[in-house]
């Protein structure tokens, strides 16, 4: 079975449907470094999902190439290729006729893993995604939307694939649970360090999760591919600027924690954790009518201060 993380390269990848005018994905070229999360984002009609499905050949390329660790996807047996790629879709993606354990064991079973191996692995993965191992014997209909999505994630991780494709996995989940799942997904990624291609139409989700964001415009053309910070700070054109939103400066604040800033000397003021984002700090200043905040560490010791000017610089 696979392991590690793989580098993914789109090389002029193009999909044209004969029945449709124009391309769905138009000469898409970008490289996702091993172990990074690349979020494909853009308005509908941008070909995000098509681009994702080109990778595991659920949709065949019209021209161009996609390479995983240097090997073209077309040079591999399609079934073997897919078994080596984790695939997560919206919550409906769990097999309703299989228990949670059988769902997680889907791909390992294809690899011929034994029942006991799958049993152990399923328990391990349930813990990893924050579910009690007693869930193993349940059916998907007995789970909440958020729980199903965790199981979907566990299933995609079961064979330890070097690459994961995630197609709007959190879209059908209510905002509070979604935000928690996003946090846990990031924590999980710290542990497993997979290469992830993540499709969403939600720009905030893209900013939060992506190491890099690829913004696709209608017609499947790449508008900009960069880190969320750089896209927010210097959008390539009006389309990108408009897409990330008029509040992009505020969004950019959410990408920095106070720990990353140059703090002033310890001082008085409302207290804020150094792990808080600049955006949280700004919100606190507005709420408390304060110009300066006292920054504290985990133990509650004041380690510095931050002023409104410094925050917005």
Partner 1 sequence: MNVAAGPVIPNFGQGSSCEVNNGWFCPEWVTGHWHDTLEPALVQHVELTAIAVGIGFALAFALALVGFRFRLLDPPIGVFSDFLYTIPSLALFQILIPVTGISVTTVEIALVSYTLLVLYRNTIEGLRAVPEEMVDVARGSGFTRMQTFLRVELPLALPAILAGLRIATVSTISIATVAAFVVAKGLGSPIFVALEQDVFKTEILVAGGMAVALALVADGLLVLLQRALTPWSRA
Residues that bind partner 1 (CB under 8 A): 53, 56, 58, 79-85, 87, 89-90, 92-93, 95-98, 106-107, 110, 138-139, 141-142, 165
- Rounded distance between C-alpha atoms, residue 66 and residue 29, angstroms: 9
Q: Which is nearer to partner 1, 53 or 67 (CB)?
A: 53
Integer Cα distance of 241 and 248 in angstroms: 8
Tokens of 3: 């392991």
β-strands 292-296, 271-273 pairing: parallel
CB of 302 closer than 8 Å to CB of 294: yes
Q: Shortest distance, CB of residue 79 to partner 1, whole angstroms?
A: 5
Q: What is residue 215's three-state secondary structure?
A: strand
Collapsed DSSP state (helix, strand, coil) of residue 305:
strand
Residue 289 region, left (φ>0) first, then alpha (ψ -120 to 50), else beta? left
Question: Least distance to partner 1 from the beta carbon of 221, Å?
Answer: 25
Which CB, 41 or 156, lies closer to partner 1? 156
- Shortest Å, Cβ 205 to partner 1: 21
- Which residue, 93 or 304, is less far from partner 1 as judged by CB? 93
CA 248 to mean position of chain CA atoms: 19
Token pair for 72: 């073209």
Q: By C-alpha distance, which of 185, 167, 68 is closest to 128?
A: 185
Minimum separation from the CB atom of position 2 to partner 1 (A): 11
**Closer Cβ to partner 1, 92 or 249, answer by number:** 92
164 or 294: CB nearest partner 1: 164
Give the nearer residue to partner 1 in terms of CB position, either 118 or 296.
118
Specify which residues 198 forms β-bridges with. 39, 166
CB of 92 to partner 1, least distance (A): 5
Residue 307 CB, shortest distance to partner 1, in Å, is 51
């Amino acid at each position: 079975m696979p392991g590690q993380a793989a580098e993914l390269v789109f090389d002029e990848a193009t999909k044209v449907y004969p029945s449709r005018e124009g391309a769905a994905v138009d000469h898409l070229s970008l490289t996702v470094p091993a172990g990074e999360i690349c979020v494909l984002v853009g308005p509908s009609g941008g070909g995000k999902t098509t681009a994702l499905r080109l990778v595991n050949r659920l949709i065949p390329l019209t021209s161009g190439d996609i390479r995983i660790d240097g090997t073209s996807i077309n040079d591999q047996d399609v079934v073997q290729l897919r078994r080596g790629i984790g695939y997560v879709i919206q919550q409906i993606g769990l097999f309703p006729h299989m228990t949670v354990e059988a769902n997680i064991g889907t791909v390992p079973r294809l690899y011929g893993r034994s029942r006991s191996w799958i049993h152990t692995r399923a328990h391990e993965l349930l813990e990893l995604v924050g579910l009690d191992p007693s869930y193993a014997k349940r059916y998907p209909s007995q789970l909440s939307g958020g729980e199903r999505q965790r199981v979907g994630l566990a299933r995609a991780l079961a064979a330890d694939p070097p690459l994961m494709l995630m197609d709007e996995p959190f879209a059908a989940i209510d905002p509070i649970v979604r935000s928690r799942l996003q946090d846990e997904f990031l924590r999980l990624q710290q542990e497993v360090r997979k290469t992830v291609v993540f499709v969403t139409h939600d720009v905030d989700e893209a900013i939060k999760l992506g190491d890099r964001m690829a913004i696709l415009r209608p017609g499947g053309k790449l508008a900009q591919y960069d880190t969320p910070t750089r896209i927010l700070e210097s959008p390539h054109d009006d389309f990108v600027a408009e897409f990330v939103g008029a509040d992009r400066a505020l969004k950019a604040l959410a990408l920095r924690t106070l720990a990353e800033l140059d703090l002033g000397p310890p001082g008085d003021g409302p207290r804020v954790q150094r792990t808080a984002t600049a955006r949280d700090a700004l919100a606190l200043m507005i709420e408390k009518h304060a110009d300066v905040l006292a920054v504290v560490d985990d133990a509650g010791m004041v380690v510095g201060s931050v002023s409104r000017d410094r925050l917005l610089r």
